[in-house]
Copies of this chain bind each other. A is one copy, B any other.
């Protein structure tokens, strides 16, 4: 039966952190204004502005990441502009053409462990500016990155500084998809804070769905003036939640005593333990990342034997005999399950 399985397929397999559920329950029959205009949303916005040390920020709550991405990008680009992303960027691969659905091209650049380099961004922008035919091509108007990336890796503060400078130098916006941001903030290796994001980007979102909320992403525009009528745009794109309060209540709980900054800590410890276990078993990592996603290269026989016991994500075919898989930990991962997984990895040859 399913409950017997060890669930490491993703970080959105379960519901919400108990604190958030309790708040939802407590406020369940409290009447509120709709569409995010209620006092919970207002308080959550204030808490987020504080956490970002950015009093002028506009904060909007949306239900999901693709929704946030398409609304922000549609808001900030002009019709003749496109958005630059890594070839492995979520908007380039796993959003079913959502950005193109708003009329904008995704311009891809090669990546290293999921990351764009400021150098490549500068080169692309310079190439566009130098191109005699540039007016026949899509103007790069924005750079999209994820922190952590789709591979669980992190931009350093220095890298983010450079990307920000590159974007500003070429008149491009910088936007950060923070679907798993809590796992970056909880990672000892990380040196990029919320105030850094507010200082260095034009927009970013603080992911809730994968970080302890039932659902929800908080979009932050550090300079509110660059996103006029975002409420209407959200409505147009089907992204405005009638009971906006649901998101406000959760973000209030996530930010009123710093829960968001701590919520990923257990997941990082669990992932670190998994990575150590892989090493101990001599199983190579597909990519070595410091956050809550662990990528292992399994030989196919082992993969087949583990599949009935561990719910994990197929990542890609490495070669005829090997498969890369992803094991994701989350705010709620139990260390005992991690140990069971490691035990299975170690002795699985004997099962």
Contacts and interface: CB of A to CB of B under 8 A. Distances in A.
Interface of A: 2-3, 5, 7, 9-10, 12-16, 18, 21, 24-25, 27-35, 39, 63-71, 74-75, 78-80, 82, 93-106, 132-133, 135-139, 209-210, 214-215, 228-229, 231-233, 235-243, 245-246, 311, 314, 332
Nearest to A77: B79
B236 A98 contact: yes
A183 to B, nearest CB: 15
B104 A100 contact: yes
Nearest to A90: B136
Given A75-B79, A135-B231, A243-B209, A237 B332 contact: no
Given A63-B63, A64-B238, A67-B239, 8 more contacts: A15-B24, A35-B136, A80-B229, A96-B137, A97-B138, A136-B235, A238-B238, A238-B239
A144 to B, nearest CB: 15
A2 to B, nearest CB: 8
A240 to B, nearest CB: 7
Contact of A15 (B15, B16, B29, B70): B29
